[in-house]
Amino acid sequence: TGCSTNIPLVATTPIDICRLEQELVGHPDKEFTSFLLSGLREGFDTGISNIPNKPLECPNLRSARRDPENVTRLVAEELDKGFLIGPYNSPPFVNYRINPIGLVESKYSKKKRLIVDLSAPHNNKDHPSINSLIDKDSYSLSYVTVDDAIKSIQKLGKGAWMNKADIQDAFKLLPIKPSLWPFYGIKWNNYYYFFVRLPFGSRSSPKLFDMLSEAIVWIAEHNYGIKNMLHLLDDFFVVDSPDDGGERTSAMISLIFNRLKIPLSVNKTVGPVQEIEYLGIILDSNRMEARLPQEKVLRIMEMIRSLLNRRKCKKRELLVILGHMSFASRVVIPGRTFVHYLFNLTTYVRSLESHITINRPAQLELTMWYRHLSEWNGTFFFLDPNIFTNTDLAFSTDASTTIGCGAVFGNEWFAHQWSEQMLNLPENEKSTAFFEIIPVVIAAVLWGSQWKGKRICLLCDNQATVNIINKGRSKSSFIMAFTRRLTLLAMQHQFLLRAVYISTYDNNLADALSRLQINRFRQLLPTADRYPKNVPSMKDLTFPSIESIVL
């Protein structure tokens, strides 16, 4: 790329590359370390497959034009930190790209942040965007989840100590290859600037930065004896056993980053503690539970309450609420199926400004979420990493479409004969799946409190029932009433129930109970309790409650 002024085309970074190279001497992947170190020294190739062959200047976003004072301040900050070069009265490069800048404000902290739209221009064949020229698959990344952090805590046990650290300025510590600077330009107040460090908004930035984070994790483990370190881009999370205390880990984290001259965010460096907020979720190793911060619970409840008072809302509004509910589903795992249904509603319209009707099923899903958050406060015990089949738990259910249903859990059991009203329901409602789901819900009402923290795999010989339990969906309003109650019970008692189809399932105990063959059942299980459990009424088995039908 031609340069019309005398700009020093040299990659810079505050990171101590020589120290990093020393720390990585024993790393087994020499190709990995060579790529990382040469990128830090010479600048990273951001993966642009075809260099644009003619200049283009894109207009800035409306959000920037509305708040020029803050944009000017933020551009000056980027310049002072060495993330940008400029200002230039005219472009210093023969071939270049000026990308739109905008301003986003955090809805709750009100902090303003500069964004660069590297996906602009949109739908322009003559001038493809910078991001469209970067291969998506080559720079894809799988991220650590809250579940991974929970597994680390479970591995080390109750009372484990936790530390976390967060790299300041993250992507912008890594230099861009100087020949690519011209394509990361912005324009403000008629002056031209160009990013010389990886910007937020570039398709390849997360993957490239993650290489540095991966190197730090390796160094921490192999050179400093820090085990159980997880990272999500610039966030690092470490768990120590209850006996270790975590103080050494905290000191070693500071030492590593200081030696490498990688700045940490003081406000986000925490530990050692036994209760910590990680990825927006509070993890408590004493209580072995995950929970939503209280302000987030109240915020989601207020959003749901507002939506329930309306008949319609814009797609944009529903997506915002669903984003918060999806976040809550990181903790309230059984509720994930109902977030999926609400997401499906948004697919019926294209425009973000189009209106979506809050239909009866949607109201019920939202009401269910509201009820859970108000009663159980978004708290969920860590689930056992092991999966228990219903046979492991000595638990089985069965139903006969003409006689009744039954279930056994250990030595406890119930058997119920269908009422005439149940047997005379319309044929389109009397599917096998309808009858099969009922004893599962009854069992959850009776014994769900004993399943706390368990992942339960229900073996079932009816594929339709398996699909309904796993997806939480059915076209039948009757079945959905039972399915919603099952999900609420899973939320309340904090277990996760999934079903697996098995054609040759040996289900003699529950089969005998569903046919009211009590003598046969006692022969098969001589240790069974003398008396059966009382079966709850229909209103306790359904949501919303169905009281017009006798079970």
- The Cα–Cα gap between 383 and 394 comes to 19
User: Which fold is adopted by the domain 156-167+206-291?
Assistant: Alpha-Beta Plaits (3.30.70)
Q: How many residues in total does the chain contain?
A: 551
92-96, 290-294, 382-386: which has the minimum mean pLDDT?
382-386
- Domains in the chain: boundaries: 17-139+170-203, 156-167+206-291, 294-373, 394-540
**Measured distance between the N- and C-terminal CA atoms of the chain, rounded to whole angstroms:** 78
CATH code of domain 17-139+170-203: 3.10.10.10
Choose between 236 and 330: higher pLDDT. Answer: 236
- The Cα–Cα gap between 402 and 382 comes to 40
157-161, 181-185, 492-496, 544-548: which has the minimum mean pLDDT?
544-548
pLDDT at 11 over 80: yes
| Greatest C-alpha distance within the chain | 96
User: Which fold is adopted by the domain 394-540?
Assistant: Nucleotidyltransferase; domain 5 (3.30.420)
Over 128-168, what HEC string results? CCCHHHECCHHHCCCCCCHHHHHHHHHHHCCCCEEEEEEEC
With vertex at residue 82, the alpha carbon angle to CA 79 and CA 88, rounded to the nearest 5 degrees, is: 50
Residue 358: count of CB within 10 angstroms of its CB: 20
Mean pLDDT of 17-37: 96
| pLDDT band (50, 70, 90) for residue 106 | confident
Average pLDDT, the chain: 89
pLDDT per residue as tens digits for the range 188-231: 999 999 999 999 889 999 999 999 999 999 999 999 999 999 99
**Angle at which helices 294-308 and 360-376 pack, to 10 degrees?**
150
